[in-house]
C-alpha cells in the first residue's frame, strides 16, 4: 500500500473512535451506574458502533470480501444495541453484548489476517478484534459482579479501540493530505 494512503477511510475511522471514546469515558467516570445506565449507555454504544462501521462498507468496495464481513459485523452490533434497548435489562445486555463483541472480534481478527497489507483499517483489527473478543468472553463471566463490572469490561475494550483507531485515522488523514499536497 505504501506510506501514503489517499483513499483511506479516515473519516469513518474517526467516527468509530469517537463512539468508543465517549462510551469508554462514560464507563470510567460514572461513579455509581445503575441498570438503566447500563441499558442506555451499553445499548447505545453497541448500536452506534454498528452505525459507525456502516460507512466503511463504501471504503471496502474494492477489497474482496471485506465489505460483506463488515456488513455482518455492523448488523450484529446494531441488532445487539437494539435488543439491549428494547429488552432493557442487564441480562439483555449480557447476551447481546457478548454475542456482538465475540462475533465482531472474531471477524476483525479474520479480516486482519487476510487484509492487513491491503486495507488500512485492517491493520488495527488484530488489536480491536482481540479487545472486543476478550470483552465478549468476559461479559458473561463478570455478569454476577454487577453493572459496574459489565461497564468496566466493555468500556475498557472501547477505550482500547478508541485509542488504536484514532491514532490510525489521524495518521491516514495526515498521509491523505500529504499525498494531495504532493500532487498539487
Q: Which residues of the chain have pLDDT under 70?
A: 1-8, 176-184
| Residue-level pLDDT at 84 | 98
Helix segments in the chain, DSSP class H: 10-29, 35-37, 43-53, 56-59, 66-87, 90-115, 125-142, 147-183
- The answer to whether 70 and 114 have CB atoms below 8 angstroms apart is no
| Residue-level pLDDT at 139 | 98
Does the pTM surpass 0.75? The reply is yes
Helix segments in 116-146, DSSP class H: 125-142
- Residues in CB range of 128: below 8 A, 6 or more apart: 105, 108, 160, 161, 164, 165
| Residue-level pLDDT at 117 | 82
Rounded to an integer, what distance in angstroms lies between the CA atom of residue 182 and that of residue 159?
Answer: 34
Amino acid at each position: 500500500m505504501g506510506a501514503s494512503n489517499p483513499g483511506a477511510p479516515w473519516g469513518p475511522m474517526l467516527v468509530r473512535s469517537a463512539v468508543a471514546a465517549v462510551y469508554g469515558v462514560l464507563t470510567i467516570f460514572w461513579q455509581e451506574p445503575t441498570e438503566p445506565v447500563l441499558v442506555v449507555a451499553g445499548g447505545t454504544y453497541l448500536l452506534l458502533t454498528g452505525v459507525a462501521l456502516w460507512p466503511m462498507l463504501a471504503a471496502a468496495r474494492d477489497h474482496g470480501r471485506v465489505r460483506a464481513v463488515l456488513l455482518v459485523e455492523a448488523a450484529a452490533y446494531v441488532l445487539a444495541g437494539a435488543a439491549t434497548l428494547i429488552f432493557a435489562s442487564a441480562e439483555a445486555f449480557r447476551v447481546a453484548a457478548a454475542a456482538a463483541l465475540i462475533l465482531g472480534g472474531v471477524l476483525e481478527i479474520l479480516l486482519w489476517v487476510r487484509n492487513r497489507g491491503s486495507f488500512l483499517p485492517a491493520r488495527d483489527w488484530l488489536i480491536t478484534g482481540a479487545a472486543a473478543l476478550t470483552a465478549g468472553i468476559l461479559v458473561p463471566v463478570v455478569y454476577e459482579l454487577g453493572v459496574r463490572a459489565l461497564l468496566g469490561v466493555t468500556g475498557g475494550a472501547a477505550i482500547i479501540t478508541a485509542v488504536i483507531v484514532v491514532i490510525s485515522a489521524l495518521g491516514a488523514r495526515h498521509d491523505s493530505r500529504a499525498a494531495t499536497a504532493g500532487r498539487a
